[in-house]
Amino acid sequence: MPELRYNIATGDWTIFATERAKRPHDFIKPKETKLLPEYQENCPFCPGNESKSPIELFRIGDQAKWRVRCVPNLFGALSPKENLQRKISDIYISMGGFGQHEVIIENPKHNTCIALMNEPEVQDIIRAYKSRYLALRGIPGIETVIIFKNHGTGAGTSLEHPHSQVIAVPVITPQTKTRAVIAEDFYEKNGQCVYCRMVEEELKLKTRVVLETEHFVSFIPFASVMPFITWICPKRHCSSFGSIEEAEIVDLARNLRTVLQKLYYGLSNPDFNYTIRSYRAKDSGEEYLHWELCVIPRLTTPAGFELGTAMFVNTALPEESAEFLRKVSCS
């Protein structure tokens, strides 16, 4: 029978269409393997081609042998040169396109991805995330910093070389605002952070847990809106990604890499997005806010019902999907 499930952290209702439910292996979409070179002459992100990208903002490693680089996005969605002044015309509000849009080049190799990197390489990526997060959230006028990755053309990437992006905006995004209101309401009623409560429950039940490491737990939410969506949540209550500690960086690298390996080997390297959802520096002491990293495999396409209602139909049960990923060997 079909079932509706409610996500207590996001306010989303999801329809689980059991009549047309798919088994986890049904989501495997074999791809034509495209062999890429380790270095590509016309790639602006490959070593030796640094002059083809904007002036470097940040680097891990020395100039001759860098491991991670950060540069402004050449075609940035926002610009630090724009102003913050709001314009009001009757009922309409606008403002200058102020903000920052950066690219984090994850690795010198053109033909790799996080699932195939070693743990120290993934640790460097997360250290770069933290460094740019702290730098951007300190800019006057910036309210939200979003770190995200697009993997594959179906997820919106246009360059093959492994990279992530960071966008800093002068507003609180609608999703951030909605989740904060829900989290505050849950805390007032229950005296506990909703994410801490979810982590506690998932670790007790185990059925939707994909991976547990020392500082993080990865699980497919009870009311996940799409197949195989995985949340990676810190066990330590913390609202801001900028507060991640070195031991947690090491552990997050292990957890994230393993989750992406399970998707890579278990679902034939699907296109995916991931994003780090965090809160403002001024909110860092709040007892009801909690940051997390969300991995979203692009296995289905939202259709008219989803676009018209913001309510999703999921054909994959979280419990079955989590069990499938747990059994995927990464060796």
Contact indicator for 128, 85 with CB cutoff of 8 Å: no
Give the C-alpha separation, 113 to 161, whole Å. 8
Supply the mean pLDDT for the chain: 92
Least confident range of 55-59, 213-217, 255-259: 55-59
Task: Say if residue 155 is in the same domain as residue 243.
Answer: no
Any domain includes 41 = yes
Any domain includes 74 = yes
Torsion, CA 233, CA 237, CA 241, CA 246, rounded to 10: -90
Q: What is the mean pLDDT of residues 84-95?
A: 90
Q: 260-276: buried (b, 16+ CB within 10 Å) or exposed (e) per residue? A: bbbbbebbebbbbbbbb
Task: Say if residue 207 is in the same domain as residue 314.
Answer: yes
Task: Say if residue 234 is in the same domain as residue 287.
Answer: yes
pLDDT reading at 242 higher than 90:
yes
Q: What proportion of the chain, given as a percentage, has pLDDT over 70?
A: 97
* Six-digit token string for 86: 């709001």
Task: Say if residue 118 is in the same domain as residue 234.
Answer: no
Domain endpoint, select from 156, 171, 186: 171
Q: What is the pLDDT of residues 38-83, one digit of tens each?
A: 999 999 999 999 989 899 999 999 887 999 999 999 988 998 988 8
Contact indicator for 157, 150 with CB cutoff of 8 Å: yes
Task: Say if residue 192 is in the same domain as residue 321.
Answer: yes
Give the C-alpha separation, 197 to 201, whole Å. 6
* Six-digit token string for 101: 């849009």
Distance of CA 162 to the CA centre of its chain: 15
Domain endpoint, select from 121, 142, 171: 171
Q: What is the pLDDT of residues 146-174, one digit of tens each?
A: 999 999 998 999 899 999 999 999 999 99
Q: Residue 319: what are its φ and ψ, rounded to 5°? A: -65, -40
Q: What is the mean pLDDT of residues 270-294?
A: 88
Per-residue confidence at 215, pLDDT binned at 50, 70, 90? Answer: very high
Torsion, CA 289, CA 292, CA 298, CA 301, rounded to 10: -10
Any domain includes 30 = no
Any domain includes 15 = no
At residue 163, the pLDDT reads 97
* Six-digit token string for 263: 């998707």
At residue 59, the pLDDT reads 95
Q: What is the mean pLDDT of residues 88-114?
A: 94
Contact indicator for 163, 191 with CB cutoff of 8 Å: no
Task: Say if residue 184 is in the same domain as residue 328.
Answer: yes
Least confident range of 13-27, 146-160, 189-203, 266-280: 13-27
Contact indicator for 65, 50 with CB cutoff of 8 Å: no
Task: Say if residue 146 is in the same domain as residue 276.
Answer: no
Q: Look up the CATH number of the domain holding residue 261.
A: 3.30.428.10
Per-residue confidence at 32, pLDDT binned at 50, 70, 90? Answer: low
Task: Say if residue 146 is in the same domain as residue 194.
Answer: no
Domain endpoint, select from 116, 147, 171: 171
Any domain includes 318 = yes
pLDDT reading at 295 higher than 90:
yes
Any domain includes 260 = yes
Task: Say if residue 213 is in the same domain as residue 109.
Answer: no
Which of 101, 163, 215, 290 is labelled catalytic?
Answer: 163
Any domain includes 191 = yes
Q: What is the mean pLDDT of residues 278-296?
A: 85
Q: What is the mean pLDDT of residues 284-303?
A: 90
Split into its structural domains, the chain has a count of 2
Task: Say if residue 137 is in the same domain as residue 233.
Answer: no
Task: Say if residue 216 is in the same domain as residue 256.
Answer: yes
Task: Say if residue 309 is in the same domain as residue 193.
Answer: yes
Could you confirm whether 163 is annotated as catalytic? yes
Domain range for residue 325?
Answer: 173-331
Any domain includes 28 = no
| 3-state SS, residue 95 | strand
Of the chain, the end-to-end C-alpha distance in Å amounts to: 38
